[in-house]
Amino acid sequence: MARALTAFVKKDDVPSRKALQGALDPLGFRIVLDEDYKPFKTKGYVPVALDGEDAGFDLRFDEPAAEIRAKLGLADGAVALAIRWGGDPREELAALAVLAALAQSFGAAVAPPGAEAVLSVEDLLVMARKAAQAF
């Protein structure tokens, strides 16, 4: 699997750090999002604590291209949260848990680059649980 997925969220639904943490907690992955996360301002590495250990992923906010909006059936005004991670299983879990929280609690459509369809919340949770088994 590519180490990148994009969450497309309505601009007004992009969560604050507190709201995103509130959506992460019930998933049970023991992930704490760093206080430096700021919607629309964060650009680059987002540190998280995963069961007390350092982990994180790269996050970029962008406007999705018109053809992507059309292909995935996204509403006008959607924001793209492009998330990439490295080969460390903790990074993968952190990214997938955040993506699952965005999909489940904020209505994000999550898709890999070039995809014709979005992943379901259950798909994302299965992927996160699989990543959690690696350590």
Residues 6+ apart with CB under 8 A from 107: 9, 10, 13
The neighbour count for residue 129, using CB atoms within 10 Å, is 16
- CB–CB of 109/74 below 8 Å? yes
Domain range summary for the chain, segments of one domain joined by +: 4-132
Read off the pLDDT of residues 64-111 as tens digits, 9 standing for 90 and up: 988 888 888 888 889 999 999 998 999 999 999 999 999 999 999 999
- CB–CB of 38/17 below 8 Å? yes
Residue 134 has pLDDT above 70, yes or no: yes
Residues 6+ apart with CB under 8 A from 26: none
Residue 1 has pLDDT above 70, yes or no: no
pTM for the structure as a whole: 0.94
What amino acid is encoded at 124 in this protein? L
